[in-house]
């Protein structure tokens, strides 16, 4: 009976998600689409031919191959993994909520199969490798949340503050133009009791410009273009380092301690606030891993978020807001404990 219910669930997913196909499929090649799916599931593209690889990822996710053309099958996979439907949160959304419920953070840079295995080890002491990944995730969700995982649309206000940390050291000696900059959310982003992005969520950015030390003692300079915060849902939240973010950093003792007394000299707004220069002065050789700073959302954005059940609201970890500010626009009672390392 459980197996039959599982097959019906897979079929329902496929029918619903095929209706959303087409637009993206026209923009990317079959190999590019499949590579995106494999990066999520395995951590990167797999060897072999297109048809064999497609069948393998379907087997690993669902325990069976899906019907339809190659384009339909690929787009159904992408929609299932990332987009979801109004009634059914996506695979990645559910996985993120499950990780957050267990460890109060997410690991989006890891392969989904490893993230699921880690949760199984923590909860049950062994991996369920004989079962499809989608079935294993549904089992984990059922163990953690009796009511399951749902999502709701909400409006994230413009200028919503978030605290971000560098995942790797950044130095003018090693930085190159267009090089990705590894950054992650330091605290949960919660709005009106809805979890938008847990701690560990990726913040996308790249090196926009590198200048070596110049004459007359002028500092080396690395400019970073901040692009977006990737939340639980499929949206991208555009972010930048604006005046509100800079002011928040100037009153946050943890940020000042992590960046040193020269923090306010390290951060300078670029044109329109879209590119930010980190200036390395004097004895400062790099911005260390773990350096903290604030960013703010560029515009009001509609996002899909997890309505945190009352019994789990104590798990949220938000930084103490600067005087007169609300970090994430949360209008709750403020009883959530502060962020911890």
Cα of first residue to Cα of last residue in the chain, in angstroms, is: 45
Residue range(s) in the chain whose domain bears CATH number 2.40.128:
154-315
CB-based contact 335:225 (threshold 8 Å): no
pLDDT of residue 217: 67
pLDDT of residue 86: 87
- Residue 215: other Cβ atoms inside 10 A: 5
Which sign, positive or negative, has the C-alpha torsion 96, 102, 105, 106?
Answer: negative
Query: What architecture (CATH level 2) is domain 154-315?
Result: Beta Barrel (2.40)
Which sign, positive or negative, has the C-alpha torsion 215, 217, 220, 225?
Answer: negative
pLDDT of residue 107: 97
pLDDT of residue 322: 55
pLDDT of residue 284: 55
Sheet bearing 189-191, strands edge to edge: 152-156, 301-307, 194-197, 189-191
CA proximity to 118, closest of 45, 184, 105: 105
pLDDT of residue 148: 94
Give dist(CA 61, CA 136) in Å, integer.
9
pLDDT of residue 170: 85
Query: What is the full per-residue pLDDT of the chain (341 aa) written as tens digits?
Result: 445 444 445 544 444 444 444 444 457 899 999 999 999 999 999 999 999 999 999 999 999 999 999 999 999 999 999 999 988 999 999 999 999 999 999 999 999 999 999 999 999 999 988 899 999 999 999 999 999 999 999 999 999 999 999 999 888 888 899 999 999 999 999 999 999 999 999 999 998 888 877 777 677 778 888 899 999 999 999 998 888 988 898 888 887 776 554 444 444 444 344 445 555 554 556 788 898 889 999 999 999 999 999 999 999 998 766 555 555 555 444 444 344 44
CB-based contact 225:274 (threshold 8 Å): yes
pLDDT of residue 291: 87
Measured CA distances, 86 to 21, 56, 148, 173, 307 (Å)? 15, 28, 15, 47, 14
pLDDT of residue 135: 97
Token readout for 303 is 């996002």
DSSP 3-state assignment of 293? strand
Running DSSP on this structure, what letter comes out for residue 215? G
Chain Cα centroid distance, residue 131: 26
Q: Which pTM value belongs to this model?
A: 0.84
pLDDT of residue 320: 65
pLDDT of residue 161: 96
Give dist(CA 197, CA 103) in Å, integer.
14
């Amino acid at each position: 009976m459980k197996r039959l219910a599982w097959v019906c669930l897979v079929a329902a997913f496929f029918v619903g998600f095929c209706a959303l196909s087409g637009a993206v499929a026209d923009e990317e090649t079959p190999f590019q689409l499949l590579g995106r799916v494999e990066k999520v599931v395995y951590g990167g593209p797999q060897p072999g031919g297109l048809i064999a690889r497609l069948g393998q990822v379907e087997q690993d996710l669902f325990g069976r191959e899906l019907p339809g053309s190659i384009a339909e099958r690929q787009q159904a996979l992408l929609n299932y993994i990332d987009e979801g439907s109004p009634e059914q949160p996506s695979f990645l959304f559910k996985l993120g909520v499950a990780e957050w419920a267990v460890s109060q953070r997410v690991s989006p840079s890891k392969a989904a199969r490893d993230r699921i295995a880690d949760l199984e080890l923590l909860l049950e002491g062994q991996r369920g490798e004989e079962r499809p990944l989608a079935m294993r995730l549904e089992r984990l969700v059922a163990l953690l949340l009796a009511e399951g995982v749902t999502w709701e649309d909400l409006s994230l206000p413009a200028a919503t503050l978030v605290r971000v940390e560098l995942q790797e050291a950044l130095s003018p000696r090693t930085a190159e133009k267009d090089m990705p900059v590894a950054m992650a959310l330091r605290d949960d982003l919660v709005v009106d009791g809805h979890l938008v992005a847990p701690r560990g969520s990726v913040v996308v950015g790249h090196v926009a410009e590198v200048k070596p030390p110049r004459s007359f003692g002028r500092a080396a300079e690395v400019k970073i273009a901040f692009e977006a915060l990737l939340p639980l849902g499929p949206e991208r939240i555009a972010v930048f380092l604006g005046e509100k973010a800079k002011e928040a950093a100037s009153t946050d003792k943890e940020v000042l301690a992590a960046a040193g007394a020269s923090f306010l000299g390290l951060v300078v707004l670029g044109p329109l606030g879209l590119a930010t220069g980190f200036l390395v002065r004097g004895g400062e050789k790099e911005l260390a891993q773990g350096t903290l700073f604030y960013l703010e959302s560029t515009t009001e954005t509609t996002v899909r978020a997890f309505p945190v059940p009352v019994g789990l609201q104590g798990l949220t970890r938000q930084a103490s807001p600067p005087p007169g500010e609300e970090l994430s626009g949360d209008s709750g009672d403020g009883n959530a404990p502060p962020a911890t390392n």
